[in-house]
Copies of this chain bind each other. A is one copy, B any other.
Amino acid sequence: MDTETALAALAALAHPTRLEAFRELVRHEPAGLSTGALVAASGLSQSTFSTHLAVLARAGLVTAEKRGRQQIQRASIDTLGRLMTFLARDCCQGRAELCGPLVADLAACC
């Protein structure tokens, strides 16, 4: 992942509504959720939430699939992983002593 893509992903997640929606989608992997269901959970207007979803999609964090009139949204765990690797990369390059605790902490959560 390059810097520009990472910035887009970070900016996409740096908003309460979008972060919550993304986490909700992660919890619903791999089934996904319809846009309407997410809108209802957000409490915002449909148009506003649609804009938020577009931001997440543009960042590659969410993908959509048409099913009838609905749009089924799914979180991209792959993009999330690439973002995390991007954030950790700098301390990893020949700096295992820094990255070690970081990975250990993460592994412990699983």
Contact = CB atoms under 8 A, between A and B. Distances in A.
Contact of A110 (B10, B16, B84, B100): B100
A84 B87 contact: yes
Contact of A102 (B10, B16, B80): B80
A23 interface: yes
Interface in A67-110: 77, 80-85, 87-92, 95-96, 98-103, 105-107, 109-110
B85 A101 contact: no
Nearest to A9: B14
B106 A110 contact: no
Nearest to A98: B77
Contact of A27 (B7, B29, B84, B90): B90
